[in-house]
Amino acid sequence: MRKSISTNKLSLALRRTHITILIAGLLSVLTSQDISTTEQIYRTPPQEIVDIVDAPPTPAVSISPTRDWMLIMTKPSFPSIEELAEPELRLAGLRIKPRTNGKSRIRYYTGLILKKIDDLTKKPITGIPQKGRIGNVRWSPDGKHIAFTLTLDDRIELWSADVHSGKAKRLTRKKLNSAYGSPYQWLSDSKTLVCKVIPSRRGDPPTPPKIPTGPVIRENISGKAPARTYQDLLKNPYDEELMEYYLISQIALIPLKGRDKIIGPTGLITDADPSPNSQYILIETVKRPFSYLVPINRFPRLIEVWNLKGHVVHTVADVPLAENIPISFGAVRPGKRSVYWRSDKPATLHWTEARDGGDPMVEAELRDEVFIQEAPFDNPPISLVTLANRYGGVMWGNDDLAIVRDWWWKTRNSRAILVRPSSPDTEPHVLFDRSWEDRYNDPGRPLMKPTESGTYVLQIAEDGKTLFLKGEGASPEGDRPFLDKYDSETGETNRLWRSEAPYYERFVNFYDDKKTLMIISRESPSNPRNYFLEDLISGSIYSLTDFPHPYPMLLGVQKELIQYERADGVKLNATLYLPPDYTKSEGPLPTLLWAYPREYKSADAAGQVSDSPYRFLRIYYGSPLLWLTQGFAVLDDPSMPVVGEGDEEPNDTFVEQLVSSAKAAIDEVTRRGVTDPKRVAIGGHSYGAFMTANLLAHSDLFRAGIARSGAYNRTLTPFGFQSEERTLWQAPEIYFTMSPFMHADKINEPMLLIHGEADNNSGTYPMQSERLYQALKGHGATVRLVMLPHESHGYRARESIMHMLWESAEWLNEYVKDFIPKE
C-alpha cells in the first residue's frame, strides 16, 4: 500500500512538473511568437503627426520660355492603398501599369494655374477632367501653349492648354505609350508634337501559358558577365512577350489643329527626339535578344534618324546587348553611346565612344572621345575632343564655345573643358579641374537659356566669352547660393548676387534681357519657399507667390547648424532641431539621430558643411522632424563620413569610422545639455538602415533603432554595393565585417525593421529584412518586422505611411522616450 501511495504521489508530482513546464513553454512561445498575426490592420500615429503628413504640399512652379508667365502646379496628397494595389507588371527593370500602359507609381499634378509675372493676375487652366492626373508638363518653344499628359482610368491622353485663353483640350483620341521614356516632344514650330502612341491594332495582351513548354535555361559559354544586384528582371519567355506588348509603339505627329499623322513602322520605341530644325527625328528602338541578367537599358538597341515621313535617312548605331560591362565605377558599354542632337545647330548629332573599351581598370591615357556629325550625314564624323576621364555631358553654346565635362571615380576628379566646335583642332582649354567632393570650391554651373527651337544653350554675354555661373555657395557658415559672371578666357569672376541671411535664396532666371531683374526663390526656417522679383541695381524685391506655411504647428521650431570633431580629427556637422518653446531648464530630451553614411577620398571634404541654417523645415512623410511634435530633439543628417585617402578604400575601416562618428555626435549634443545620452535612438532609410544595424551591432551608444528598407547581408550583393567596387571574392573580409547580419548575435537593443514588399531598389530585397529579423529572433533580441504591402523602396500609400509612423511612434515611446535607466 505504501509503495502504491508513493508511486501515485510521484506520478502526480511528475504530472504537475510536466504541466508547469508546458505552461512555461507556452508562455515562452507567446512572448517570442510573431505577434503580427493578430495585428494586421493599418494604424494611425498621433494626431500632430497626421496633421503634418496630410498638409497640402507646396505647389511646383515653372517659368515660361518667354519669362512672362509662371505656371503653378498643385500637387495631391498621398494615394490610397487601393490605388497602389492595382495590377503592376515588373519587367526588365520597368514597372508598368497595364491598365493605362504607363509607368506605375508616377508623381502627378491635380491642377494648373497661370500667373502673369508683371501684374500677378491669375488664370486657372480650365477644361481638364476632374479625375485626370496631369503629368509630363512642357511649355511650347514660343511659350504660347502648354502640353501635358492626362492619365485616366484606362489610358493616357495628350492635352494642351492655350496660355492666352487658359482653356485646355484633348489633342487626339490616340492613346499614348508612356511605359518607358518620354511619351512626347514639341517640334520647334510650337504647333506640332511628336508622340509615341499605341498601335490601333495591337490586340489583346498575351496570356500566360497554362502548361510550361520547357525549362527556363541560362547559359554562359565564355567570358565574364558580372552584374550588380538588379530587381524586376525578365524571368521567362512570357515576360519577354509581355514587355514587347506594352512597349510596342508607333510615332505620330499630332498638331494643335488638324489631323494626326502616323509615320514609320511599329517597334519597341524608347525615345523619339526631333532635331532643333524639326526636319529629323532621332529614334531609339530596343530589340532582341533580351537579357535575364540586366535591365532594359543594357538591351540591344537600334539608333536611327528618320525624316518626318518616317523614312530612315541614317543609321547611327546598332548597339549590341551589354551584359559584360565591368562593375567598376566608370565602366561603360563599348561603341556609340549618349547620342543626342546638338542644341545650338539645326541638325547635328553628337555622341561619345570609349577609347579604353569601356573598362576603367584598363591602363589608358585617353578614356573617351566625342564626335559630331552634321545632316545629311554624308560626311564622316568629326572628332571634337578626346578625354582623359570619362565623358560627363556637354553644354553647347555656339561654334566658338561649348563646355564638355568629364570625371573619374577613383580620384573624384571633375573637369569642365572649353572646346571650339568650329575648330576641333584647337587645343581644348580646361576651365575647372577639381574634386567634386570639395563643395567649398565649387565654381558653380553655367546658366542655360531656351532657344526658339525649344532647346537650351549656354547663356553667353555679348562679348562672346563671358558666362554666368550659379552655385550653392557652400561654406563653413552654411550654403549661400550665388550668381557670378565668369570670363572664360581669363578665368576672372565677378559676383553679381549672393543669398543673404536670414534667408536661403536661389537664383532662378533673369527676367529682362538687360539682366538687371531676376527671379529668385526665398525661404527661411519659418517661411516656405516662395518666388520673388529682385532688382539687382536698386536691391528692391517684389513678391510673386504667397504659398502659406504648411505646418503652422511647427512654427517656432529651433534650428541650429552645429559643428564638432571626431576622435581622429575629422570635422563633422549636423542640423540640430529642438521643439518649439523648449529651454534647457526643462532638462535633456530623448533624441533621434537620422543619418546616411557617405564615402570620401578626402578628410577635408568629409568635414565640409552641407546645409544652411536658413532653409525651410521641409518635411516629407519619413522625415525625422515629425518627432519634434512628440518631445524629441532631432539631430538630422549628422555627418557619417567613411574616409579612405590615397590608396586606402573607405570601407576598409567602415565600422570603426561609423561608430566614431556616432559617438562624436552624441557627445556633442550631450555637452550642449539638450540630449539624455541614455535615451538616444538611431534611424535611417536604405543605406541609412544598413548603418543603423551596424551601429547597434558594434556599439552600445543607442537605446533602440529604426531601420527602413535596408540591406544587411552583403553576400547577397556579391558584385559590389553602394560605393564598393570590389567583389565578395576579392574582399570577403570586408563583406563579412560590414554585414550586420553576420553580427546579429551582438545586437542587443530593440530594433524596428520596416520594408516595402515590392522594393525595387538594387540590393535591398525584402528578403534582407526578413532574414535579419529571423537572425535576431533566433538570438532572442527584441525586434519587430513590418512588411508594407505593395510598397516599393519609397512608400506612397497614405495607409502605409501612417502605419509606418504609428509603428515608429510606438517603438520610440516604449523603448526610448519612456525608458527609465537603472540607477
Cβ-proximal residues to 10 (8 Å cutoff; 6+ apart), any chain: none
Looking at the DSSP bridge assignments, the partners of residue 753 are: 707, 785
All three cell numbers of 80: 490610397
Say whether the peptide bond before residue 289 is cis (omega within 30 degrees of 0). yes
CA distance 713 to 690: 9
Of 759, 769, 800, 808, which is the active-site residue? 759
State the amino acid at position 771 in one-letter form.
R
Of 314, 429, 549, 793, which is the active-site residue? 793
State the amino acid at position 289 in one-letter form.
P
In the block, cell 547581408 appears at 713
CA distance 35 to 41: 12
Residue (of 113, 261, 271, 258) closest to 171 by Cα position: 258
All three cell numbers of 329: 565605377
Of 140, 686, 769, 800, which is the active-site residue? 686
Q: CA geometry: angle at 134 spanning 131 and 138, to 5°?
A: 160
Is the Cα dihedral 221, 243, 214, 758 positive or negative?
positive
Chain center to CA of 686: 12
| DSSP string across 740-764 | GGGGGGG--S-EEEEEETT--STT-
Looking at the DSSP bridge assignments, the partners of residue 576 are: 560, 635
Looking at the DSSP bridge assignments, the partners of residue 192 are: 255
In the block, cell 572628332 appears at 383
Cβ-proximal residues to 268 (8 Å cutoff; 6+ apart), any chain: 243, 244, 247, 248, 249, 285, 286, 287
Specify whether the CB–CB gap between 588 and 675 falls below 8 A: yes
Residue (of 48, 75, 95) closest to 756 by Cα position: 95
| Strand runs labelled E in 420-551 | 429-435, 445-446, 448-450, 456-458, 466-471, 482-487, 493-498, 504-510, 517-524, 527-535, 541-543
Looking at the DSSP bridge assignments, the partners of residue 405 are: 393, 416
Long-range CB contacts (< 8 A, 24+ apart) of 204-209? 205/98, 205/242, 205/245, 205/246, 206/238, 206/241, 206/242, 206/245, 208/238, 209/238
Residue (of 403, 427, 416, 281) closest to 344 by Cα position: 403
Active site residue 793: yes
Radius of gyration from C-alpha coordinates of the chain: 30
CA distance 63 to 532: 12
Strands 448-450 and 456-458: antiparallel
Looking at the DSSP bridge assignments, the partners of residue 755 are: 787
Measured between its terminal Cα atoms, the distance across the chain in Å is: 58
CA distance 396 to 345: 9
Specify whether the CB–CB gap between 416 and 467 falls below 8 A: no
| DSSP string across 147-208 | EEEEE-SS-EEEEEEETTT-BEEE--SSPB-BSSS-SEEE-TTSSEEEEEE--TT--SPPPP
State the amino acid at position 155 in one-letter form.
R
Largest Cα–Cα separation, the chain: 122
Catalytic residues: 686, 759, 793
